Structure 1
């Protein structure tokens, strides 16, 4: 019987918190002027790899999402080094950043549903 909260899920939650703090306070690159949100961290079963899903509130300086992800992935070694100091784990996972566009997709779906309900209300009145 599997536990409701496995060790990997607890570690992924802790990684999510710590990585968010590191990105917000310790990355001094001026290209990171956008607000970066970490939506999910998925850790492999052997705790050697972590997939970190991020979203960007607004992008400045003509940087694309791909360029920001590339910058984050280049900084992953530094982030991992800071995690070593903050977490008491034998293995700190290798970090790979991915873009999470679920918020954008959800907003589009919500907008479409609102338009459909407005058309339905207009159609029922007429």
Structure 2
């Protein structure tokens, strides 16, 4: 029962944080496209680790990540207003690098495929 509840809370916070980033944060450093990929809330609901993917150049990624980390208090306030919880968790922003890893693996697979096709000829 508690695991199911945790999953629902994760999804509600994910929706709210995503909506806040897209529509409510007016920081000029948010120039890259941001996608909230996952949220992990601790069992005692004291922390919510928000994983984000940022699409853009390295400079845009750094500026956008700084802007998101500086707006965690605002995100927490929005979660408190729109998600019914007794205790609103502290928001921690983490960069999700799974897309970068997948892209790297894809280039490695392509290189292996090219090497094998060259060896067969």
Tell me if TM exceeds 0.5: yes
Q: CA separation in 1, counterparts of 2:57 and 2:91?
A: 22
Find the counterpart in structure 1 of residue 49 from structure 2.
51
Q: CA RMSD in A?
A: 1.8
Q: CA separation in 2, counterparts of 1:83 and 1:5?
A: 20
TM-score (norm 1): 0.86
Which of 94, 111, 115 is residue 115 of structure 1 equivalent to?
111
| Unaligned segments of structure 1, at least 5 residues | none
Q: How many residues align?
A: 121
Residues 96-124 of structure 1: CA distance to partner in whole angstroms, max 9, x if unpaired?
Answer: 10111110111011111011111101211
Alpha-carbon distance, 1:63 to partner = 4.4
Moved beyond 6 Å, runs of 4+:
none
Q: Equivalent residue of 2:91, what SS?
A: strand
Residues 59-93 of structure 1: CA distance to partner in whole angstroms, max 9, x if unpaired?
Answer: 48x4452x433321221111111111111111111
**Whose helix fraction is larger, Structure 1's or Structure 2's?**
2
| Unaligned segments of structure 2, at least 5 residues | none
Native 8 Å contact 2:38 2:52 kept in 1: yes
